[in-house]
């Protein structure tokens, strides 16, 4: 697996919250291979996704408490999977699991409770600073991003890739997008169909 997979494929979710949920490098619908498997990669991804500034990423990288970083990484992974479980159900027009919804709610309420309102470009948003959160900063900002995501009217455009577990906001017309990215899941599916040959109904 390319440690920096996002530099090759980019961000495709259409929202920072979805880009976080999509930090999985699987081909199929297993979610078994994390794209952010260690703390250093979390910081690299958060910087590329503009969750952290360069200065904040450097500050967090200098904190050498490995046990705390591993604990925070585990919490970040659990939060990601709760968010995916809930939003995958939303994309499928199904009722989300109650326990996963409650877990998602706890993370969002935790982040908001320690945030402040920031007026930016004519609108208010919850914000957090590095000084108050330390290693928890990434998770706090991502929880706020997911909170913003689930409040969008655009959520009715939420879709899940037909091949992997990638979630994205589809703004296309008609049938719209079927794949997270055409250059990965779309091309793989087309190649497999080509190799399989024509079907009886074609």
What is the per-residue pLDDT for 200? Answer: 53
Q: With pLDDT > 70 as the criterion, what percentage of the chain qualifies?
A: 87
What is the per-residue pLDDT for 194? Answer: 47
Output the six-digit token pair for 111: 């982040």
Q: Report pTM.
A: 0.87
Low-confidence ranges of the chain (pLDDT < 70): 1-3, 9, 131, 174-175, 184, 186-202
What is the per-residue pLDDT for 188? Answer: 60
26 φ/ψ sector (left φ>0, alpha ψ -120 to 50, else beta):
beta
Q: What is the C-alpha separation between 96 and 24, in angstroms, rounded?
A: 20
Output the six-digit token pair for 190: 């087309």
Query: What CATH architecture is 5-196?
Result: Orthogonal Bundle (1.10)
Q: Which residue ranges make up each domain of the chain?
A: 5-196
What is the per-residue pLDDT for 72? Answer: 95
């Amino acid at each position: 697996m390319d440690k920096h997979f996002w530099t090759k494929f980019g961000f495709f979710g259409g929202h920072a919250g979805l880009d976080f949920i999509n930090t999985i490098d699987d081909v199929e619908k297993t979610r078994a291979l994390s794209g952010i498997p260690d703390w250093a990669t979390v910081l690299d991804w958060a910087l590329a996704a503009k969750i952290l500034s360069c200065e904040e990423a450097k500050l967090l990288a200098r904190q050498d408490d490995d046990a705390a970083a591993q604990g925070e990484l585990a919490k970040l992974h659990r939060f990601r999977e709760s968010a995916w479980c809930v939003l995958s159900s939303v994309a499928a027009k199904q009722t989300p699991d109650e326990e996963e919804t409650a877990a998602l709610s706890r993370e969002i309420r935790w982040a908001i409770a320690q945030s402040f309102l920031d007026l930016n470009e004519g609108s208010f948003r919850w914000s957090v600073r590095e000084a108050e959160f330390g290693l928890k900063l990434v998770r706090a900002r991502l929880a706020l991003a997911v909170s913003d995501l689930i409040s969008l009217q655009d959520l009715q455009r939420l879709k899940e890739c037909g091949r992997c577990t990638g979630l994205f906001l589809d703004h296309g017309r008609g049938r719209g997008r079927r794949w997270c990215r055409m250059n990965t899941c779309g091309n793989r599916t087309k190649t497999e169909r080509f190799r399989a040959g024509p079907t009886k109904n074609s």
